[in-house]
Structure formats: C-alpha cells, structure tokens
Amino acid sequence: MENTPSGIKLFGSWASSYTHRVQLALKLKGLDFEYVEEDLTNKSPSLLLYNPIYNKVPVLLHLDRPIVESVIILQYIDETWTDRPIMPADPYERALTRLWCYFADDKLGPAVGAVFGSAGEDQKAAVAQVHENLKLVETELREGAFKGRRFFGGDRIGILDIVLGCGSYWLAVFDEVMEVKLVDPEAFPLFHAWLREFEEQEEVKEIIPAIDRLLEYARGIRQMMLGLKDASTPTTAAAATTTTTTTTTTDNGSVVVESAGSV
C-alpha cells in the first residue's frame, strides 16, 4: 500500500453517491486519503480481495484493514477520528439517526432507482412511491426530532445529511433526462430548502461530478436499462443467463449500473 499521512485509501467510482458519502465524511473530518477509481466492468483484484462478500465500492482501507458498506464506513470514520463528530452524542438521537439512514437505503433509494429504470405507468407508480417516502421525511422535518434544524445533524452536516444528500445531484439529472420532478418545492418545502442548503456547502461542491458528465452517463445507462427490460426475444433471454445488468455495484439502491458475466 502506498502510504498517506493518515494511512487511508478509498476505492470508489466517480458516479457513485455511496463513494461520495465517504469522500464527504473524510473531507469534513479534514483527513487526507488516497483515492483509487474502480472500473466496475473490470473490477480490480484489490477490490475483490478487500470486499469478497459483495465485490462493491466503496471500500475504505485503513492501515491495511478493509471496511465496506458506506454507512458502516461513515460510522467507522466517526468513531476513529472523533474531532468534528458527524453522529449525535445522545443515544436516542443516535438510534433515530441510524433508523433514518436505514430508511434512506431501504426505502427511498430503491424507490428513486425504480423511477430511473422505468417508463409509462410503471414510472408514474415509482414516482408516487418516492413522494410517499419524501412525505415521511417532510413530516419529520416539520413535526419530529429534526424540526427547526439547519441540517439533520444540527448546525453542521451530520451522517444523515451525508446519507440523504449525497446523490441529490441525480434529481437534477432526472429532471433533464426524464422530465420527472421528484422534489417539488411546494409539496416538500422543508426538504427542498434543506437540500439547497446542503448543496451550497463547499465540501459538497467539491465532490459533485460535473452535470454534463452525469447527463451523458445517465442517458446511456437509462437506455441500457429500458432496453434490457423491454427485450423479450429468445436470443436476448439466452444472453441474459450469461450477462447480468444490475444497480447494485455500490451500496443498495445505486443508479450505477454494472454489466458483467454471471458467476
């Protein structure tokens, strides 16, 4: 391993919001790290070695010890480098934060991914599901534990802000590529205001990819996903048994698509 002052190496993908979560946490902590860009269609031996269970990014390597899954990595970072905490100190708030992080990856993320990979009536149903999930977040901001806060973490960005906020740039991409409005400022005023505030932070701006690059990437991926979904010929079906296209090359719910031979 090529040493950095803090002994940190991050394996990631430029378009992965889950990679961006880890990058943002490291930046907020003021930590130097070595970044390794992974080609998800031709994964490196190092990635397969350090994440043999899921073979996904991100992977954080600290002192030659791998940590995988973005939310687990975020908690590891906060527990290892305790200055400028991103987790709340109160046990109940920590539990609540973990619950909403789980919600983001278990409910909201997959719902957004379903919008990206669908069309017509299926897409309308997927959009409705996203809005139902956002209503829950909006209610929590209006009436719940996060009421009146600048960020979910308080006056500064916390772990839930990182989990919900990283990937927000895809919403603008959706507007452009699919003409779908997922976050209406009139329907979700508190969430919309929080998102704008989050995106204005300098550390966040530093990790968001250029919109033109995202648009080009998203158009190609969407065409691929819709093409595979609509394909129904025997030849295509046979090919599908040896080639798999998924949205799970990063943590669950990612819109980053992998196409690789089956194992």
pLDDT in tens, 206-220: 999 988 999 998 888
Q: How many CB atoms neighbour CB 235 within 10 A?
A: 8
Same structural domain for residues 125 and 195? yes
224 within a domain of the structure (yes/no)? no
Same structural domain for residues 14 and 69? yes
177 within a domain of the structure (yes/no)? yes
Residue 183's domain comprises 91-212
In the chain, the number of structural domains is 2
Kindly report the pTM of this predicted structure: 0.86
Identify whether the C-beta of residue 40 lies closer than 8 Å to the C-beta of residue 93. no
Q: How confident is the model at residue 240 (pLDDT cuts 50, 70, 90)?
A: very low
CATH of the domain at 54: 3.40.30.10
Distance from C-alpha of 93 to C-alpha of 214, rounded to nearest angstrom: 35
3-state secondary structure of 244: strand
52 within a domain of the structure (yes/no)? yes
56 within a domain of the structure (yes/no)? yes
Same structural domain for residues 101 and 15? no
pLDDT in tens, 75-130: 999 999 999 999 999 999 999 999 999 999 999 999 998 998 888 999 999 999 99
Distance from C-alpha of 157 to C-alpha of 84, rounded to nearest angstrom: 10
End position of a domain, from candidates 80, 106, 128: 80
185 within a domain of the structure (yes/no)? yes
Same structural domain for residues 75 and 100? no
pLDDT in tens, 84-94: 999 999 999 99
Q: How confident is the model at residue 6 (pLDDT cuts 50, 70, 90)?
A: low
263 within a domain of the structure (yes/no)? no
The pLDDT assigned to 260 comes to 33
